[in-house]
Structure 1
Amino acid sequence: MKICKNIAELNDWLENYSNDKSLGFVPTMGALHKGHISLLEQSIEDNDLSVVSIYVNPTQFDKKEDLENYPKNDKADAEMLEKAGCDMLFLPDNLSIYPNGEQILEFDLDGLDSTMEGKYRPGHFQGVITVVDRLLDLIQPDMAYFGEKDYQQLAIVRFLAEERHPETEIVGGRIIREPDGLAMSSRNERLSEEQKEAAAIINEVLEKSYSKKGNMNVEAITAWVRKNINLNPHLNVEYVEIIDPYTIEILDDIEEDTEARICVSVWCGDIRLIDNMPL
């Protein structure tokens, strides 16, 4: 596996290895887990070559302490990627991503960033798409892979790619879970064992919410989810929303046959967790 740390090395690798070969790309912020590796495996299956990037983007953190506390272990991540069959790891520095300083891409996301994560983390998605846009410009992959755990982000990246990078297909990867149902996340490293046990309740409640569809309205379902997660003293629900899985529009009413997705953000101590699933 080749490791490139700047644009010159990246361009040299792309010029020498990617001509006439399909290229898959998995952007990450490191602290890799099986969810990231599943995206890489999907890329390897779909493409001739697969690239993974690791870059902890400072502009998508709304709290400085979250950036400072974000887990980092490039050596362990590189070993995991090489074992999984990654062809190239891109480890850009800040200058490669922000050549003119940390300037945010001002891009109209057509309201996709106005609810859920966008509402509770203002400016977050502008930081995300600034880096995604830059990485897609640099790597120009045929396919790029993003996990469904960040479901709103996936929709926003798809919109960005349609508008600015139509040559790249955005592929969503299913949520990978721990045996107890907790959605895998780099943030889970910061949870105590007791908190991890509590956080598994999130998935348990979301799965049970499916049986409420057709028997309860949206307001009652979201209230039921909030109440049952908050029963655990370690957990505090920030939001519960039921959305259209294609437009990300928050739904006020659903029928039994309505396609929908339920999304939550939950604080477990000082760790913020998100999850979602089809409803």
Structure 2
Amino acid sequence: MRVLRTAAEVRAAVAGARARNARVGLVPTMGAFHDGHISLMRAARDAHDLVVVSLFVNPTQFGPAEDLAAYPRDEQRDARIAEQAGVDILFAPSVAEMYPHGFSTTIHVSGLTDVMDGAARPGHFDGVATVVAKLFAIVGPDAAYFGQKDAQQVLVVRRVARDLNLPVRVVGCPIVREPDGLAMSSRNVYLDAADRARATALHRALVAAEDVVARSSTSADVILDAARAELRAAGIQPEYLDLRSPDDLTEVDEVAPTALLAVAARVGAARLIDNTILETR
């Protein structure tokens, strides 16, 4: 595996692979790798001849009061994990490489970013959309892999690719969970033992909602009440708990035939998100 620092180096490496008719897969990340990231790398490895993983803690997607400075970073550990997962190129640029002096372009996706994390974290998805568009321009992948835990992000990136005519297939991969159901996240390291136990209520809330639908109730009120009860029992006040269309994030009042149930909550020092797709049988 090669660790490259500049866009020019990555473009040259990809051009060499393309000359051999290689298929190129990209996994955009902010590092602090866990099994969820590894699942994305393996999915890319299975489908492509050249796998590029970007490792860049993107400052433009953090708000002024968010955890940019504290976000976990360990490039040497991440490089070992990426290499073991079969990655060919680890692209680890500096902030100056990605945002050189005078950088003044931002991509904004209307509609999809007005709700959920977009409402809770103003400007967050502008940063995501901009950095992902840059990565697509640098790497030129055939496909890019994202975790479904960030369901809204997957939709935003797909819209960017569609609207800007970028020839990239955006692949959403299944959520990877701990044995007790907690969705894997780099921010889980912020949880102390007590909050780690409380955090499992997010997944229990989703399961309770799935159970409601399995018992043939598709009403949003009934589904959300069941999910809120699990959160309340753990002393968690959600930042949002929404039932929305999995296609465009419009609010829905029933599961017909599918719906995205998404939750965000602060548990101790960590802000956590999770979701599930509800569907009628």
TM-score normalised to structure 2 length: 0.93
Q: Which position in structure 2 is the counterpart of 1:23?
A: 24
SS of 2:258's equivalent? coil
Q: Deviations over 1:161-189 (max 9, x none)?
A: 11224311111110000000000000001
How many angstroms apart in 1 are the aligned matches of 2:225 and 2:163?
A: 37
How many angstroms apart in 1 are the aligned matches of 2:32 and 2:18?
A: 27
How many angstroms apart in 2 are the aligned matches of 1:106 and 1:42?
A: 28
Q: Which moved more, 1:242-251 or 1:174-183?
A: 242-251
How many angstroms apart in 1 are the aligned matches of 2:104 and 2:270?
A: 27
SS of 2:26's equivalent? strand
Q: Deviations over 1:226-261 (max 9, x none)?
A: 23212213x32111001111122111x215x52111
Matched, 1:218 2:220: yes
Aligned-pair identity (%)? 38
SS of 2:106's equivalent? coil
How many angstroms apart in 2 are the aligned matches of 1:2 and 1:106?
A: 30
Coordinate RMSD, CA, aligned:
1.6
Q: Which position in structure 1 is the counterpart of 2:88?
A: 87
Q: Check the 8 A contact 2:212/2:223 in 1, yes or no.
A: yes
Residues paired across the two proteins, number: 275
Q: Which position in structure 2 is the counterpart of 1:230?
A: 232
Q: Which position in structure 2 is the counterpart of 1:42?
A: 43
Residue 82 of structure 1 deviates from its aligned partner by 0.4
How many angstroms apart in 2 are the aligned matches of 1:79 and 1:153?
A: 27
Counterpart amino acid of 2:264? Answer: S
Q: Which position in structure 2 is the counterpart of 1:275?
A: 274
Residue 194 of structure 1 deviates from its aligned partner by 1.9
How many angstroms apart in 2 are the aligned matches of 1:35 and 1:202?
A: 17
Q: Deviations over 1:197-235 (max 9, x none)?
A: 1111211221121122343621332233223212213x3
Structure 1 unpaired stretches of 5+? none
Correspondence list, 1:48-197, <5 A: 48-101=49-102, 103-107=104-108, 109-197=109-197
Structure 2 unpaired stretches of 5+? none
Q: Check the 8 A contact 2:205/2:226 in 1, yes or no.
A: no
Q: Check the 8 A contact 1:33/1:185 in 2, yes or no.
A: yes
Residue 83 of structure 1 deviates from its aligned partner by 0.7
Q: Check the 8 A contact 2:125/2:153 in 1, yes or no.
A: yes
How many angstroms apart in 1 are the aligned matches of 2:76 and 2:112?
A: 36
Q: Which moved more, 1:96-105 or 1:263-272?
A: 96-105
Give structure 1 regions of 4+ aligned residues with deviation exceeding 3 angstroms: 100-104
Counterpart amino acid of 2:75? Answer: D
Q: Which position in structure 1 is the counterpart of 2:249?
A: 248
Q: Which position in structure 2 is the counterpart of 1:260?
A: 259
How many angstroms apart in 1 are the aligned matches of 2:218 and 2:244?
A: 16
